[in-house]
Amino acid sequence: MTPNSQTIRFFRRRIPTFECESGCHDCCGPVTASSEEMARLPEKSDTEHAAALAALSCPHLGRNGCQVYAERPIICRLFGTTPRLACPNGKHPETMIDPRIERQIDRYFAGTRHVLV
């Protein structure tokens, strides 16, 4: 396991979860992810990426929601868990993300190359 894998696993365990609004995909827009996270996702064609970007969507969003939910990037997991990335429907976990963990994630993002999903 690479140090980056350990970091991603560490953050995933500390980002609180909550039940999303059924059928809502408002936070499933274009996002970026690290190369490590991208390696966990199925490859999408340039055409699929272009179509998703034109629709301000994610290439992994299907008719029934996120097709890669278990492996979704850290940024996707953060939506609704912090006031900085608030859910447009007001959904959130009982306890928001620990501000110390959020700062660590910010430092991880600042120091890690990210690409468009």
Residue range 67-114, pLDDT digits in tens: 999 999 999 999 999 999 999 999 999 999 999 999 999 999 999 999
Domain membership of residue 20 (yes or no) is no
- What phi, psi does 63 have (nearest 5°)? -60, -35
Domain membership of residue 39 as a residue range: 3-8+26-116
| β-bridge mates for residue 66, sequence order | 61
Quick one: pLDDT at residue 1? 61
Residue 83 burial (C-beta neighbours within 10 Å; 0-12, 13-18, 19+) = exposed
Domain membership of residue 55 (yes or no) is yes
Domain membership of residue 104 (yes or no) is yes
Domain membership of residue 107 (yes or no) is yes
Domain membership of residue 66 (yes or no) is yes
Mean pLDDT of 16-29: 90
Tokens for 95, please give them.
């306890």
Mean pLDDT of 35-60: 95
Domain membership of residue 19 (yes or no) is no
Domain membership of residue 96 (yes or no) is yes
Total structural domains within the chain = 1
Residue 49: C-alpha distances to residues 5, 44, 57, 85, 95 (Å): 25, 7, 9, 23, 34
Domain membership of residue 18 (yes or no) is no
pLDDT above 70: percentage of residues in the chain: 97
Q: Is the dihedral of CA 101, 107, 113, 117 positive or negative?
A: positive
Task: Supply the pTM of this predicted model.
Answer: 0.91
